Amino acid sequence: MLLSAFGSLLQLLYLAMLVLAVVAFVFAATAREDAYRAADKKKKSFWLIILGIAVAVNLIIPMLFLQLAGVVASIVFMVDVRPALKEVSGGGGGRRGGSSSDGPYGPYNGGR
């Protein structure tokens, strides 16, 4: 019983690694090529190849150390590259044109 629970947990972990790789690949594919250059990151083709290999490894070759390398590449893209691309592309994280002193109900500085 314990071994089957561990197998189920491992399957969920493999699925989570696959989903992360696919999501990172989709984000990399939908970003503009010039945004990569403007953010001073590697080329779009570089990230598409790396993340495509990560997806392929998760689907075809279920070897844990290769999958972990794909997870590292996906995390680096999602944490470092994607925010830089959003900043360069004008998607500054959901801020709607307010200043840095704006709170949820208006400015913290008394409207000055």
Predicted local distance difference test score (pLDDT) of residue 24: 97
| Cβ neighbours for 50, distance < 8 A, ≥ 6 positions apart | 73, 77
Domain boundaries, the chain: 17-90
Question: How does pLDDT run across 39-61, given as a tens digit for each residue?
Answer: 889 999 999 999 999 999 999 98
d(CA 12, CA 70): 16
Model confidence at 7, pLDDT cuts 50, 70, 90, reads: confident
Is the CB of residue 89 less than 8 Å from the CB of residue 108?
no
Model confidence at 109, pLDDT cuts 50, 70, 90, reads: low
Flag whether pLDDT at 25 surpasses 60: yes
Chain mean pLDDT for the chain: 85
The model scores a pTM over 0.85: no
